[in-house]
Amino acid sequence: MALMQSFKMALKSIAGNKMRSFLTMLGMIIGIVAIVVLVSIAQGANASVISSIEGMGTNMITVSVRSRRANPIKLSTLDELSDDPYIEAYAPYLSVTGTVKAGNTVYDDASIIGTSSSYMLIRALEMEDGRFLSTPDIDNRSHVAVIGSEAAEEMYGSTDCVGSSFSIDGTAYTVVGVLKSKGTSSVGSQDTMVLIPFTLAQRITQTTGVTSFYVTATSSENVDFAQTGVEDFLKKYFSSTSYYSVFNQTQMLSTLSETTSTLTLMLGGIAAISLLVGGIGIMNIMLVSVSERTREIGIRKAIGASRGNILSQFLIEALVLSIMGGALGILLSYLIVTIVSPLIGVTMVMSAEVSLAAVAFAVIIGAVFGLYPAAKASKLRPIEALRYDG
């Protein structure tokens, strides 16, 4: 019998058992979509972390102090860093929680940060309007603020708001500058920032020390020298290196990509489990229909089908079903990755290898469990297959 005939029979059988065909494909589709989409999410996260860190420049060093009690680093102590020839700039950093209110508008998304004038250079910020925080602002604890473009839009409906006032937990501030939009990155949006003098932030949080600060090297080649300088500076004030941590961007990058590769592994694991569950679903539906199919095989053998006829029909049937399921799974994954991901604001990167592996796995499962019962049944004497009832 020609292959074409087996193919026609397989298609007829698929069309004649719509429910069974649908359930078989469903298992496959769910498994494939799960693995492809979850891995895409993980890889998307990885890619966006890497690009945002790289975007921040590679000559930045981040220092954070862990011992909050009796922090020996004061704003004035930081000035020692200016003697280091490899250090271009430094800026303290203090995050504040508080309610930002402009008129009657409460702006919940604000990230309030206390810092100094060098922060602009270090983070490569640009002004849309007005000026950045100045050294006198810091020294005098002036009630002034520089805000991100999104913050301005949300608070005043436009970025044309220099001179306007707002309050943080009831204390009044005047906007002296608005930043240009930089877009969102995984380390936080710069557009929602509300920057205030570092000294004021200290007063609000009732701290005296500097818990974290940024340093930039004069060039990316000098990062290591600058880092040594920073570490020497810290050693003078702390008895143990366990009280602080120093990161340069390259280190941060590898730490973060370690984190995201853990994430990839974890999501991949979950996805592999769902693919396995999908595979078991395919297997179940194939095995459940075995008694019905065994009778069918008995009838076909009784009227003259050979084992080869039976096996080629069932193999083609299983392959057509699993390839169809695989294709639908990939299509659905593609739609989710390209249409749904922008809507929910999650970056996803679809991987060709993972998609291919998922489909291959589904097809193999489908073929094995489609063929295994058929191979068993086709070995029976026709009369045994005809009498089979589970």
Stretch that binds other proteins, among 113-121, 222-230, 281-289, 378-386 (CB under 8 A): 378-386
In the block, tokens 């297959």 appear at 385
Binding status of residue 36 toward other proteins by CB under 8 A: no
Question: Min. distance of Cβ 296 from other proteins in angstroms?
Answer: 6
- What are the distances in angstroms from CA 274 to CA 4, 312, 358? 35, 30, 11
Tell whether residue 301 is a contact of other proteins (CB under 8 A).
yes
* Residue from 11, 273, 299, 356 binding other proteins (CB under 8 A): 299
- Tell me how far, at minimum, the Cβ of 321 lies from other proteins, in Å: 15
Q: Least distance from C-beta 8 to other proteins, angstroms?
A: 9
Smaller CB separation from other proteins, 1 or 356: 1
Under the binding rule (CB under 8 A), the answer on residue 296 touching other proteins is: yes
**Distance in Å, CB of 10 to other proteins, minimum:** 12
CA torsion, ordered 65, 68, 71, 77, to nearest 10 deg: 50
Distance spanning both ends of the chain, measured CA to CA: 29
Part in contact with other proteins (CB under 8 A); list of ranges 61-69, 134-142, 172-180, 302-310 = 302-310
Tokens for 282, please give them: 């395919």
Helix axes 249-288, 290-302, angle to 10 degrees: 50
376 vs 381 by CB, closer to other proteins: 381
> d(Cα 112, Cα 95) in Å, to the nearest integer?
6
Contacts to other proteins from residues 306-345, by CB under 8 A: 306-309
Shortest Å distance, C-beta 366 to other proteins: 20
Stretch that binds other proteins, among 22-30, 42-50, 293-301, 314-322 (CB under 8 A): 293-301
Instruction: Give burial (CB, 10 Å; 0-12/13-18/19+) of 175.
Output: buried
Q: Residues with Cβ < 8 Å from 246, sequence gap 6 or more?
A: 61, 62, 63, 227, 230, 231, 234
CB 198 within 8 A of CB 94: yes
User: Closest separation between CB of residue 302 and other proteins, Å?
Assistant: 6
Angle between helices 18-55 and 352-379 (to 10 degrees): 160
C-alpha dist (Å) from residue 56 to 53, 256, 289, 390: 5, 14, 59, 66
Which residue among 170, 304, 345, 390 contacts other proteins (CB under 8 A)?
A: 304
Binding flag, residue 2, other proteins (CB under 8 A): yes
Q: Which stretch binds other proteins (CB under 8 A): 39-47, 105-113, 229-237, 294-302?
A: 294-302
**For residue 215, what are the β-bridge partners?**
61, 90
Interface size with other proteins, residues (CB under 8 A):
26
Residues that bind other proteins (CB under 8 A): 1-2, 5, 9, 12-13, 16-17, 296, 298-309, 381-384, 386
